[in-house]
């Protein structure tokens, strides 16, 4: 049997050992409206599994994290992390809503909590099964600091992708309305000539 702690035998020692207990009891006396509930639960945006609510502030405020998949590699579905989460309102109640954007730093801080990362993984895996059923799920943990976030490289749009030919639009409108086409509607646009020729 180990010898008794000499500090525990003295009256001063007993009062020092009781200080952590008193501190814990006092911290537990903070009213519910002044502390975060810490709730983490699925909150869909457009379809099941594509959003997660994380209550981080008093009064049910927090983050509505948007979950996206990356299926650019054939046969593989993995996370596409979007650190620009929406601001959650009413997260402790029956009808939570989201609006605007929360600071990115708040998203990174939320990733420090194990229950948040676990819930994100579960939602991401379920979303991958739903969107790409034949693909293999590849888990990549969310970024915890801004330097770890790598935005996706998307293809650049070319001018033909951005602008529609006005004549083609006019022809389509007239066909939908049952109006006759004029000779101007049938003219094709001229090809641009290279400068200096």
pLDDT at 5 over 80: no
Q: How far apart are CA 7 and CA 10, in angstroms?
A: 6
Model confidence pLDDT, tens digit, residues 74-119: 999 999 999 999 999 998 989 999 999 999 999 999 999 999 999 9
User: Which among 14, 88, 19 is positioned nearest to 51, based on CA atoms?
Assistant: 88
Look at residue 197 in the predicted model and tell me its pLDDT: 47
Question: Which residues are bridge partners to 88 per DSSP?
Answer: 62, 98
pLDDT at residue 10 greater than cutoff 60: no
* pLDDT grade for 170, boundaries at 50, 70 and 90: confident
pLDDT digits (tens, 9 = 90+) for 159-168: 666 777 778 8
Task: Give mean pLDDT, residues 20-32.
Answer: 59
Alpha-carbon gap, residue 115 to 187, rounded angstroms: 62
Query: What average pLDDT is seen over the chain?
Result: 82
For 159, the enclosing helix (H) or strand (E) is helix 159-162
Residue-wise pLDDT tens digits, 115-145: 999 999 999 999 999 999 999 999 999 999 9
Mean pLDDT of 18-44: 69
User: What does the pLDDT average to over 172-193?
Assistant: 78
What percentage of the chain has pLDDT greater than the value 90? 48
Burial of 32 from C-beta contacts in 10 A (0-12 / 13-18 / 19+): exposed
pLDDT higher for 68 or 187? Answer: 68
135 vs 194, residue with greater confidence = 135
pLDDT at 25 over 80: no
| 3-class state of residue 88 by DSSP | strand
Q: Torsion angle, CA of 93/96/100/102, rounded to 10 degrees?
A: 60
What's the CA gap between 60 and 89, in Å, rounded?
6
Determine the Cα angle at 142 with ends 61 and 119, to 5°: 60
- Predicted local distance difference test score (pLDDT) of residue 7: 52
Q: Which two tokens stand for residue 15?
A: 């009062």
Q: How far is CA 74 from CA 70, 131, 175, in A?
A: 10, 13, 40
């Amino acid at each position: 049997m180990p010898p008794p702690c000499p500090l525990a035998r003295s009256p001063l020692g007993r009062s020092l050992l009781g200080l952590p207990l008193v501190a814990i009891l006092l911290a537990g006396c903070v009213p519910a409206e002044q502390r975060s509930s810490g709730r983490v639960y699925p909150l869909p945006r457009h379809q099941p599994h594509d959003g997660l609510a994380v209550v981080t502030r008093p009064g049910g405020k927090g983050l509505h994290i948007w979950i996206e998949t990356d299926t650019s590699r054939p046969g593989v579905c993995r996370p596409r992390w979007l650190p620009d989460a929406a601001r959650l309102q009413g997260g402790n109640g029956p009808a939570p809503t989201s609006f605007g954007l929360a600071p990115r730093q708040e998203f990174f801080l939320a990733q420090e909590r194990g229950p948040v990362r676990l819930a994100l993984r579960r939602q991401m895996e379920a979303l991958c099964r739903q969107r790409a059923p034949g693909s293999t799920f590849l888990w990549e943990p969310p970024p915890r600091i801004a330097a770890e976030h790598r935005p996706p490289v998307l293809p650049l749009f070319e001018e033909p992708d951005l602008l529609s030919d006005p004549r083609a639009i006019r022809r389509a409108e007239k066909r939908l309305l049952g109006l006759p086409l004029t000779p101007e509607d049938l003219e094709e646009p001229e090809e641009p000539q290279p400068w200096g020729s």
